[in-house]
């Protein structure tokens, strides 16, 4: 049997492979490309981004709605609440004591000045007057006798002096008795209405006791309180429109303005006299007064367009002819149910009605006419006063 010798094995190496060097060339090429790209920034620098960037566009002005307004002359009115007080109101008191003999009027009667309301029993006082009269007659005779005796030289001057004193005392007694009888008639001190009557027939009344209360409400007096800032506007003689809570209206006149402030409220007392012929308006009811104090040039606007600047100042924003926003500090001249009258704006103004919160003073704006056009004037019959909590305010 013939033996075959094993074949000799040969080891395969990459150096002998022609494709083995290809990866080296690829890697080297990539390295050279990367190095060249990184170095190109130094050889060929790129343009400065700051030089190539475009300038940002200016912001577009904010669009706002404006309404044209023309100032008008408006009446300034001071408004206050007060109470209608009677011209005179007093208690009637007994000037003597005794028993009521007669009542001549009833409670609620309208009295004339000096009219008799009641009479006391006069029996005792009539007797006192008769006794005083007799004493006066005796004293007068004694004085005449003393005078005659002195003239004849049989009496002294002292006797005449004593007789004169007795005569004077008797005269005083008669006067007192007559006054006591006069005081038995209770009379009305002035014309008015008898609001209360506290006595009845046969009732005993002491001196100084209350008999009744009489009130004169023709005219009425309305007292109001004026705040410090409005004191210079209110003068005596100014007319006042008065509206009573009952619906009655009248015209009065300022008759008094105080010059000393209340220490607690810092307000000044003022009085307005209102005619009340016939006493139709009762005393004690509430009343509202409107006192014209002058006129001012103002714009009629809605309270919704008011703004505050950074300092908290109340004002209104407008747009001028150059379409630049302007802030104007304003003062409220008069308030109504449908708007307010304000001063501090130019006579003619384009008031920002929508968008005032998105623009500031000095900024450009894109004004567009409000669809409603010019500021509306107040309609007739819509003027309603507003009153502050300090008992008084300027409309």
Q: What is the pLDDT along the chain (395 residues), one digit of tens a residue?
A: 455 555 555 555 555 555 556 666 767 777 777 776 666 665 655 555 555 555 666 678 889 999 999 999 988 889 999 999 999 999 999 988 899 999 999 999 999 999 999 999 988 888 888 998 999 898 898 888 888 887 877 777 888 888 889 889 989 989 988 888 888 889 999 999 999 999 999 999 999 999 999 999 989 999 999 999 889 889 999 999 999 999 999 999 999 999 999 989 999 999 999 999 888 899 999 999 999 988 889 999 999 999 998 888 999 999 999 999 999 999 988 888 889 999 999 999 999 999 888 999 999 999 998 876 555 555 443 444 443 333 444 45
pLDDT of residue 333: 86
pLDDT of residue 376: 55
pLDDT of residue 392: 46
Residue 169: CB partners within 8 Å, gap ≥ 6? 139
The helix/strand/coil state of 312 is coil
Find the radius of gyration of the CA atoms of the chain: 53
pLDDT of residue 46: 57
Q: What CATH code is assigned to 97-120+187-208? A: 2.40.50.100
Give how far Cα 148 sits from Cα of 155, 157, 166, 293, 386, Å: 9, 11, 16, 79, 87
What are phi and psi for residue 146, nearest 5 degrees?
A: -65, -40
Pick the CATH number of 122-183 from 1.20.120, 1.10.287, 1.10.8, 1.10.1200: 1.10.287
Fold of the 63-72+297-394 domain: 2.40.420
Report whether 142 contacts 163 (CB < 8 A).
yes
pLDDT of residue 375: 55
DSSP letter at 308 equals: E
What's the rounded Cα separation, in Å, for the pair 393 and 395?
A: 6
Domain layout of the chain by residue ranges? 63-72+297-394, 80-86+215-294, 97-120+187-208, 122-183
Closest alpha carbon to 107 in 18, 196, 21, 189: 196
What's the rounded Cα separation, in Å, for the pair 349 and 71?
A: 9
Per the DSSP assignment, residues forming a β-bridge with 315 are: 307, 329
Does residue 54 have a cis peptide bond before it, meaning omega lies within 30 degrees of 0?
Answer: no
Class of residue 126 by CB neighbours under 10 A (exposed 0-12, middle 13-18, buried 19+): middle
pTM, two decimals, is: 0.59
Q: What angle do CA 149, 151, 155 make, to 5 degrees?
A: 40
Q: What angle do CA 265, 266, 272 make, to 5 degrees?
A: 90
Class of residue 83 by CB neighbours under 10 A (exposed 0-12, middle 13-18, buried 19+): middle
CA 377, 381, 387, 392: dihedral to nearest 10 degrees? 100
Report whether 315 contacts 330 (CB < 8 A).
yes
Report whether 352 contacts 68 (CB < 8 A).
no
Was domain 80-86+215-294 assigned CATH 2.40.30.170?
yes
User: Beta strands 110-111 and 331-336: pairing type?
Assistant: unpaired
The helix/strand/coil state of 320 is coil
What's the rounded Cα separation, in Å, for the pair 302 and 247?
A: 30
User: Beta strands 62-70 and 365-369: pairing type?
Assistant: parallel
Give how far Cα 174 sits from Cα of 74, 136, 218, Å: 71, 7, 40
pLDDT of residue 384: 41
Give how far Cα 288 sits from Cα of 34, 82, 220, 272, 380, Å: 96, 6, 14, 11, 20
Give how far Cα 361 sits from Cα of 309, 310, 324, 352, Å: 9, 10, 8, 12
């Amino acid at each position: 049997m013939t033996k075959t010798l094993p074949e000799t094995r040969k080891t395969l190496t990459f150096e002998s492979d022609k494709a083995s060097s290809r990866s080296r060339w690829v890697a080297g090429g990539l390295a050279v490309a990367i190095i060249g790209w990184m170095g190109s920034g130094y050889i060929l620098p790129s343009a400065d981004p700051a030089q190539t960037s475009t300038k940002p566009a200016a912001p577009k002005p904010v669009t706002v709605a404006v309404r044209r307004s023309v100032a008008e002359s408006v009446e300034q009115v001071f408004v206050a609440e007060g109470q209608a007080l009677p011209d005179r109101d007093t208690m009637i008191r007994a000037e003597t004591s005794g028993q009521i003999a007669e009542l001549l009027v009833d409670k609620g009667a309208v009295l004339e000045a000096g009219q008799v309301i009641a009479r006391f029993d006069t029996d005792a006082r009539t007797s006192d007057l008769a006794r005083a009269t007799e004493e006066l007659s005796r004293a007068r005779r004694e004085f005449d006798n003393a005078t005659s005796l002195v003239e004849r030289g049989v009496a002294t001057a002292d006797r005449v002096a004593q007789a004169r004193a007795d005569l004077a005392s008797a005269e005083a007694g008669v006067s007192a008795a007559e006054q006591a009888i006069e005081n038995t008639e209770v009379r009305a001190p002035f014309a008015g209405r008898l609001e209360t009557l506290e006595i009845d027939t046969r009732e005993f009344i002491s001196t100084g006791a209350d008999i009744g209360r009489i009130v004169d409400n023709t005219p009425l007096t309305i007292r109001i309180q004026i705040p410090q800032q409005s004191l210079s506007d209110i003068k005596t003689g100014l007319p006042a429109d008065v509206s009573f809570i009952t619906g009655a209206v009248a015209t009065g006149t300022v008759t008094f303005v105080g010059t000393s402030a209340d220490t607690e409220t810092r307000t000044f007392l003022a009085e307005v006299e209102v005619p009340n012929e016939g006493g139709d308006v009762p005393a004690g009811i509430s009343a509202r007064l409107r006192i014209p104090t002058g006129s001012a040039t103002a714009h009629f606007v809605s309270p919704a367009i008011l703004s505050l600047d950074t300092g908290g100042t109340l004002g209104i924003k407008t747009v001028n002819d150059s379409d630049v926003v302007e802030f104007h500090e304003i003062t409220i001249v008069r308030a109504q149910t449908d708007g307010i009258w304000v001063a501090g704006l130019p006579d003619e103004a384009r008031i920002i009605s929508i968008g005032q919160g998105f623009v500031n003073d000095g900024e450009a704006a894109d004004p567009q006419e409000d669809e409603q056009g010019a500021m509306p004037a107040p309609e007739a019959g819509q003027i309603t006063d507003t009153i502050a909590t300090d008992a008084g305010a300027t409309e």
